[in-house]
Chains A and B, each alone.
Chain A
C-alpha cells in the first residue's frame, strides 16, 4: 500500500482531483466580478463618479436608476453562479471522498483476510475494528478536498489579493503583512499537536482493546471480584487520554488565538492608513469600503487554508498510522485468494512433508525439521506430549500457518503455494473451538460451500438497474462486485445436485455429528411463513389432524390437552387468550396489558362484561391482598405467583379501602383500569380462583366472535387467529401441531403429549421437514444461542459436508462428553473410510481404531505405524497408552 496519503489519493482518484481543480479554477472569474461589482455600484451607479448618464451599454441606453438595477442584477447573478459552483464542487468532493473511503476500508479489510494467523496473537479485534471504522472516517472528507480546497481557497485568496493590489498596492501589502508571521509560527505549533495526535490515536486504540477484553473476559471479572481493578485501569487509561487531549486543546487554541489576532490586525491598518489617505484626498471612500470588504472576504479563505493545513496533518498521521498496522510480515499474496483455478484437483496418493520448520515469535522451535509421509486413504492419529508441535503441525497441514521452511507436496502440487481455492475446498480443518457466525444454522453449515457466486440471479427492470449501479459503484471504488444474493452453494463440491439433495445430505451429516435431535427441537420451536413454505405448512396441518385423532382415541390423553375450539372456553388459557383467540403479532395487543387497549375495552363493554370484569377484578385484588400483604416486598412469591407486583400492592390496598364493592360502576377511570387489568390474567384450571362462572365464560366466547368480526382494518394484521383449518404463522411448529393448551394439573401431561407428538412425527416422516425448518434458526452473535457443544458439532458438520479429501481435526471433539466423543469419532472414521483423516488427539487410547498413528516429540516424528504394530514394538506408544 502507498505509504503517503497523497500518493494514495493520486493513484486512485487522479481524474476526480483534476476535475475538481478545473472546476475550482473555472469559478474564479465569477468570483472576481462578484468582488468588483460593489465598487461599481457605489462609485458609479450610486455616486455617479466618473460617469455621465444616460450611459450606453451593449447597444442599450441606461439612465442612473436603470444602471443601478443592471449592476445589482449582475451582482445577484454572480452570487448565484458562485453558489452553484460551490454546490457542484462540494457534492463532487463528497462523492470522491466517499469512494476513496470505501476503497480504503475495503483494502484494509482484504488485508485482514490475508494476515498470517500469528498476527492475531498480537493484534486484537478491539484494536483492528476502530481503525477501519472510526479512524479512517475523517480521511474520506479530507481526500475529497485534498487538492481542490487549497487550489480553490488559495486561488480565491489570490483573486482577492489581486483585486486589492489593483485598488491600492500599499493597502494590499498592509493587509497581508503579517501572514508570513503566521506561516512561520503555526507549523511549529502544529507539529507539537501532530505528535500529541499520534499519541492520542495510540491511546484510544489501547482503550478499545481494553474494552474488548472486559467484554470477552467478563466472567473472570465477576468470578474474581476484579471489577475495581478493571475500573481503575480504565480510569487510568481515560486519564491519559484526557491529559493528551487537554494539551492538544491548549495548543489548538493558541493557534486559533494567533490566527484571529493577526486577522484582526488587518482592519487596524486599513482604518489607520486608508483613513489617512481619504483625509488627504488621495483615496476615494468607495475604494476604502470595497477594500475593507475584500479583506473581510479574505479572512474566510485564509482561515479555510489554515484549517485545511491542520486537517491535512491529521489525515496524514492517521493514514500512516493505520497503514503501518496493516502490513505485517508474511502476509498472503492477494492472488492466492483471488485465483480460481480451472480445475480443482483432488488430493490423493501421498502427502509428503519434508523438513518442516516453524518458530513462534519468541524464536522457540515448534516444528524442528519434521518430515513425514501420509497416505491420503488412511485415517491417521497424531499424538504427542505438550510442546511436541501437534497443534502446529495440524495447522500447517491445513495450510492455516505457513512454515518458515520446508515443503508440503501432494502429487505434483506444492501445497505451500497453491491457491486457497484448492486448499480450502479439498482440506477441512476443525480446531478445538470452532467459530460460528452470526447467521442461521444452515448458513453456518453451508459456509464451506460458498466460494464463488455460481448461479447469478436474473434481475429485470428496476432491480437490474439497481444491480448495474451497484456494480458500477463497486468498480469505481475497487470493491468486489460479487452478488451476495446469488446462489453461492457449490453443490458439486458437496457431491449433490441441487438444494433438495443438499438438504438430504445435511440431515445425514447432522445425524453423523449428533446434532439431528437438537436441530429438530429448534425446528419445532421455530416459526415459518406459510406463504413461502406452503408445503411445510400443509404437512403441519396434516400432523395437527393426526395428533388430534390420536388424542381423541385415547381417553387418558383427552384431558391432558385442551384444543382451541372457536365455540368453547379454554380453561387452560388465560382470559386474555380466550378473548383474543389468537397470537398477537407486533405490539398492538399485549397479552399482559389487555385492559389498556381501547378496542378490547370496547368489545368488553359491548358484550356487557364491564361490570363482571370489575367485580372479578375486585375479587382477585381482595384475594391477592389477603394472600400476599403479609410478605416482604422482595419475596419471590410476588414474582412467581402474584397477579399484582409488590410495588403495586399498596395502591390496590388503598383502592380497596376507598371503594365500595357494590358501586363499582362509579369508579374513577384509573381505578377501573387497575381492576379491569386483573381478570385478564386468570387461567381457571391453574389458579382455581372460582371467579369465572359458566355464564361469564359463555359471554367471553360470544365476545371473542365479535372481537374478530369487528376488528378494524388497521388491526387486522396484529393478530393471527386460531383456526383449526389454517396454519398460524405467529406460533411455532410445535404449537401449530398441538393446537391447544397442555392441561394444568395432570401428572406428566407434557411428557405424555410429547410422546404422542413424536409418534405423529414418526408416522408422517416429518423429522426431515422439521430439521429443515430448524436450519433457519438464527444462532446469534458468535453462535451465542447455541451451547458450546452444539457450536463445536456444527463446525465439524460444516467440515464434513464440503466433502474434503483431507479432514484435519485438532482435538476437535475434546470439549464434548466422553460418550459423544466416542460416537462422533466412530461416525467420522466411517465417513472418511477411503479419504484422509488427520486427527490430533490428547490420549493414546483413542488412537486404536486408526489406520496409522504418528507420535511427535520435540517437533519431529518419533514413531509412525499401525497402532497394533506400534503396541508391540514401540515403548513410547506403550508408555503413552499406559498413561492414558
Chain B
C-alpha cells in the first residue's frame, strides 16, 4: 500500500475530511504503518495511550474487561479509528483492542499529531468542530436517555 492510498483512507475520516490534502500526506508520511498478526494486542485496557490507530485493512475486536471476564463489545473495520481520545488527553485505554484478522493500521503518535496541530491551526479548528459535533450528539443522546429513564420510572 502506498502513501497515496493511505492519504485516500485518511481523508475519509471525518476529522481530516476538510484538511488540505498535502497536510494529510505529511501526516501519513510521518506516521508508521503497522501490521498486526491475528490475536496481536493493539492496545490494552488500562494502559496509558500514546497513539491513535487508523484501520486501513482487516478487522479488530474491542474487548472490555467485565467482572465475568473479557467481553467483545464491538468489531472495528476499515476506516475506523481507535484511541483518538487518548492522543488528546491522558486517560487510560477504556478497552482492549485485539486483531481479529491480519490488521493493517496507520499509527499516529500523540507527538506527531500535536506537532501537526500546532503547526497547522486549521487542523486544530477542524478538530474542535468534530469534537463539538460529537459533544452535541452525546448531549442529545444523554437527554434522550434521561427522558427514557424518567418515562420508565
Task: Give chain A's interface residues, CB within 8 Å of chain B.
Answer: 556, 559, 623, 626-628, 630-631, 635-637, 640-641, 687-690, 744-748
B25 within 8 Å of A (CB atoms): yes
- Which A residues lie within 8 Å of B4 (CB)? 690
A747–B98 Cα gap in the complex (Å)?
12
- Judge whether B25 and A627 touch: CB under 8 Å: yes
Extra 8 A-B pairs, beta carbons < 8 Å, given A623-B25, A627-B25, A689-B3: A626-B22, A626-B25, A641-B30, A688-B2, A688-B6, A688-B33, A690-B4, A748-B40
- Which B residues lie within 8 Å of A747 (CB)? 34-37, 40, 42
B147 within 8 Å of A (CB atoms): no
- Judge whether A690 and B119 touch: CB under 8 Å: no
Q: Which residue on chain A has the smallest CB distance to residue B1? A: A688
Q: Which residue on chain B has the smallest CB distance to residue A624? A: B29
Question: Which residues of B in the span 51-88 have a Cβ within 8 Å of any Cβ on A?
Answer: none
A627–B26 Cα gap in the complex (Å)?
5
- Judge whether B30 and A637 touch: CB under 8 Å: yes
A688–B4 Cα gap in the complex (Å)?
9
- Judge whether A690 and B2 touch: CB under 8 Å: yes
A688 and B35 in contact (CB under 8 A), knowing A627-B29, A641-B30? no
- Judge whether A690 and B22 touch: CB under 8 Å: no
A637–B6 Cα gap in the complex (Å)?
19
Q: Smallest Cβ distance from B66 to chain A, in angstroms? A: 26
Q: Smallest Cβ distance from B31 to chain A, in angstroms? A: 10
- Which B residues lie within 8 Å of A631 (CB)? 119
Sample 7 A-B pairs with CB under 8 A, ordered by A number.
Answer: A626-B22, A626-B25, A627-B25, A627-B26, A635-B115, A689-B3, A690-B4
- Which A residues lie within 8 Å of B2 (CB)? 688-690
- Judge whether B35 and A640 touch: CB under 8 Å: no
Q: Which residue on chain A has the smallest CB distance to residue B26? A: A627
Q: Smallest Cβ distance from A22 to chain B, in angstroms? A: 82
- Which 8 A-B residue pairs are closest in the complex by CB-CB distance? A690-B2, A745-B33, A627-B26, A747-B36, A688-B3, A556-B37, A641-B30, A688-B2
Q: Smallest Cβ distance from A485 to chain B, in angstroms? A: 51
- Judge whether B34 and A745 touch: CB under 8 Å: yes
- Judge whether B22 and A746 touch: CB under 8 Å: no
- Judge whether A745 and B32 touch: CB under 8 Å: yes
- Which B residues lie within 8 Å of A623 (CB)? 25
- Which A residues lie within 8 Å of B36 (CB)? 747
- Judge whether B34 and A641 touch: CB under 8 Å: no
Question: Which residues of B in the span 93-152 have a Cβ within 8 Å of any Cβ on A?
Answer: 115, 119-120
- Judge whether B119 and A627 touch: CB under 8 Å: no
Q: Smallest Cβ distance from B54 to chain A, in angstroms? A: 14
Q: Which residue on chain B has the smallest CB distance to residue A747? A: B36
A637: contacting residue among B22, B32, B115, CB under 8 A: B115
Q: Smallest Cβ distance from B101 to chain A, in angstroms? A: 13
A688–B8 Cα gap in the complex (Å)?
14
Task: Give chain B's interface residues, CB within 8 Å of chain A.
Answer: 1-4, 6, 22, 25-26, 29-30, 32-37, 40, 42, 115, 119-120
Q: Which residue on chain B has the smallest CB distance to residue A636? A: B115
A208–B70 Cα gap in the complex (Å)?
68
- Judge whether B35 and A746 touch: CB under 8 Å: yes
Q: Which residue on chain B has the smallest CB distance to residue A637? A: B30
A812–B1 Cα gap in the complex (Å)?
56
- Judge whether A635 and B119 touch: CB under 8 Å: yes
- Which A residues lie within 8 Å of B119 (CB)? 631, 635
- Which A residues lie within 8 Å of B115 (CB)? 635-637
- Which A residues lie within 8 Å of B22 (CB)? 626-627, 630
A635–B115 Cα gap in the complex (Å)?
9
Q: Which residue on chain B has the smallest CB distance to residue A627? A: B26
A747–B39 Cα gap in the complex (Å)?
12
- Which A residues lie within 8 Å of B42 (CB)? 747
- Which B residues lie within 8 Å of A744 (CB)? 32-33
- Which B residues lie within 8 Å of A745 (CB)? 32-35
A99–B4 Cα gap in the complex (Å)?
75
- Which B residues lie within 8 Å of A628 (CB)? 26
- Which A residues lie within 8 Å of B26 (CB)? 627-628, 637
Most chain A CB within a 10 A radius of its CB, from B6, B26, B36? B26
- Which A residues lie within 8 Å of B6 (CB)? 688
- Judge whether A746 and B34 touch: CB under 8 Å: yes
Q: Which residue on chain B has the smallest CB distance to residue A631? A: B119
Q: Smallest Cβ distance from A709 to chain B, in angstroms? A: 33
A688–B1 Cα gap in the complex (Å)?
7
Q: Smallest Cβ distance from B49 to chain A, in angstroms? A: 15
Q: Smallest Cβ distance from A638 to chain B, in angstroms? A: 11
- Which A residues lie within 8 Å of B120 (CB)? 630
A371–B138 Cα gap in the complex (Å)?
81
Q: Smallest Cβ distance from B36 to chain A, in angstroms? A: 5
Q: Smallest Cβ distance from A514 to chain B, in angstroms? A: 29
Most chain A CB within a 10 A radius of its CB, from B1, B3, B42? B3
Q: Smallest Cβ distance from B14 to chain A, in angstroms? A: 23
- Which B residues lie within 8 Å of A559 (CB)? 35
- Judge whether A690 and B3 touch: CB under 8 Å: yes
Q: Smallest Cβ distance from B88 to chain A, in angstroms? A: 21
- Which B residues lie within 8 Å of A641 (CB)? 29-30
Q: Smallest Cβ distance from A592 to chain B, in angstroms? A: 20
Q: Which residue on chain A has the smallest CB distance to residue B3? A: A688
Q: Which residue on chain A has the smallest CB distance to residue B30? A: A641
- Which B residues lie within 8 Å of A627 (CB)? 22, 25-26, 29
A556–B120 Cα gap in the complex (Å)?
40
- Which B residues lie within 8 Å of A635 (CB)? 115, 119
Q: Which residue on chain A has the smallest CB distance to residue B104? A: A745
Q: Smallest Cβ distance from B10 to chain A, in angstroms? A: 13
Q: Smallest Cβ distance from A552 to chain B, in angstroms? A: 16
A630–B119 Cα gap in the complex (Å)?
9
Q: Smallest Cβ distance from B34 to chain A, in angstroms? A: 5
Q: Smallest Cβ distance from A418 to chain B, in angstroms? A: 61
- Which A residues lie within 8 Å of B37 (CB)? 556, 746-747
